[in-house]
């Protein structure tokens, strides 16, 4: 296993990207298991060892970095990197041990390109400046890379030439098996901490990259929810799969682009994916078609309303909500359903624990396992199994 010893990073501990880089990896896993044990102690269940990330270094295949600046006038320099811990001060990133190496190299190229082109970084206090964030994604299995620029303003003249100049420089620093397939502008003129706006402009290429997890192929866009650690994602999905009884009828709530839906289709009789984002549903339908998976279906709409309408026909429910956890209406719909088992995927153990208590006494926690999707941070992904307490 990599990283048995401390790592010396020029930005640690000021950078907010990592909080445990100075702790040997095996000790990080032990600390995360202890945290889960303490948090879920009242449930009287055994928690096994946290599943380690196969690649605890350079695992992040999605990079989201804010622009900043220092100096004044002609001496002003563009900065790009993570925010400093507990602040919005940009650390001018020189190295990173958790980002994919190609994406780090491209980020450095984008900083130089922005400086050369004279683009002004966004200033949160004054609400002016053009470049807000750099967003990069890479397909681990394909080497395809998307370059995203979040801007405080619309498409500018000569964007195709700007994209070409950026690509020419970026392609020089990437590995021989990597290729930039799209340069995309996301327009966000709102005064908000939300990174992405709603409108996209393709400066060059296509707006998605191709990725493969296990036997399944997906198209991944800038805003697509897709696990940032492609090496550990199969471990996570296999924990879900092992909880699926053969030939069961499964609801996959908050299904996104259908990664878990397709993964469990190999054991289930049929799977219904529920997702409120219509773009994600379109991508999920396309993924099912490309992968020739016939026993899945997807619906767009409110999770609680669709749950109430369809739970009589399904005996297993998978839920994979955002960090805030389950909507109270979804919890009530599950309580009133005929579902005999819930498989809860969570990136936030605190909201998971709260929701399990809210699902009681209708459902009882029977299993909890952790996967280290986010090495060198305090975060851990969990898969919890709950059985109907009849």
**Residues recognised as catalytic:** 347
The Cα–Cα gap between 44 and 279 comes to 41
Cβ–Cβ under 8 Å, residues 166 and 107: no
The Cα–Cα gap between 291 and 218 comes to 9
One-letter-per-residue 3-state SS of the chain:
CCCCCCCCCCCCCCECCCCCCCCCHHHHHHHHHHHHHHHCHHHCCCCCCCECCCCCCCCECEEEEEEEEECCHHHCEEEECCEECCCCCECCCCCCCCECHHHHHHHHHHHHHHHHHCCCECECCCCECCEEEEEEEECCCCCEEEEEEEECCCCCCCHHHHHHHHHHHHHHHCCCCCEEEEEEEEECCCCCCCCCCCEEEEEEECCEEEEEECCEEEEEECCCCCCCCCCCHHHHHHHHHCCCCCCCEEEEECCCCCHHHHHHCCCCCEEEEEECCHHHHHHHHHHHHHCCCCCEEEEECCHHHHHHHHHHHCCEEEECCCCCCCCHHHHHHHHCCCCCEEEEEECCHHHHHHHHHHHCCCEEEEEEEEECCCCCCCCCEEEEEEEECC
The Cα–Cα gap between 354 and 21 comes to 29
- Bridge partners of 88, per DSSP, are none
């Amino acid at each position: 296993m990599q990283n048995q010893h401390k790592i010396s990073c020029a930005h640690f501990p000021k950078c907010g990207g990592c909080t445990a880089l100075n702790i040997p990896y095996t000790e990080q896993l032990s600390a995360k298991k202890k945290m889960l044990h303490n948090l879920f102690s009242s449930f009287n269940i055994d928690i096994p060892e946290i599943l380690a990330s196969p690649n605890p270094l350079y695992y992040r295949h999605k990079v989201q970095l804010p622009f900043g600046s220092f100096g004044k006038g002609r001496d002003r320099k563009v900065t790009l990197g993570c925010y400093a811990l507990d602040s919005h001060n940009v650390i001018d990133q020189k190295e990173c041990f958790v980002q994919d190496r190609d994406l780090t190299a491209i980020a450095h190229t984008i900083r130089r390109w922005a400086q050369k082109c004279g683009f002004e970084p966004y200033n949160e206090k004054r609400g002016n400046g053009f470049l807000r964030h750099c967003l990069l994604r890479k397909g681990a299995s394909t080497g395809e890379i998307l370059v995203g620029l979040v801007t405080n303003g619309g498409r500018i003249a000569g964007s195709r030439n700007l994209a070409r100049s950026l690509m020419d420089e970026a392609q020089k620093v990437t590995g021989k098996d990597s290729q930039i397939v799209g340069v995309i502008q996301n327009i966000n003129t709102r005064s908000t901490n939300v990174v992405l706006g709603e409108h996209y402009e393709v400066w060059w290429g296509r707006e998605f990259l191709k990725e493969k997890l296990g036997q399944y192929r997906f198209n991944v866009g800038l805003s697509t929810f897709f696990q940032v650690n492609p090496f550990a994602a199969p471990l996570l999905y296999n924990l879900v799969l092992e909880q699926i009884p053969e030939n069961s009828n499964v609801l996959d709530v908050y299904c996104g682009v259908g990664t878990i839906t397709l993964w469990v289709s190999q054991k289930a009789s049929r799977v219904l994916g529920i997702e409120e984002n219509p773009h994600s549903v379109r991508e999920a339908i396309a993924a099912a078609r490309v992968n020739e998976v016939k026993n899945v279906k997807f619906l767009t709409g409110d999770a609680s309303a669709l749950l109430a309408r369809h739970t009589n026909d399904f005996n297993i429910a998978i839920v994979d909500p955002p960090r805030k956890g389950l909507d109270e209406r979804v919890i009530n719909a599950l309580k009133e359903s005929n579902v005999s088992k819930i498989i809860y995927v969570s990136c936030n153990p605190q909201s998971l624990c709260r929701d399990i208590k809210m699902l009681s006494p209708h459902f009882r926690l029977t299993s909890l396992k952790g996967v280290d999707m986010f090495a060198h941070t305090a975060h851990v992904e969990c898969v919890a199994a709950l059985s109907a307490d009849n």
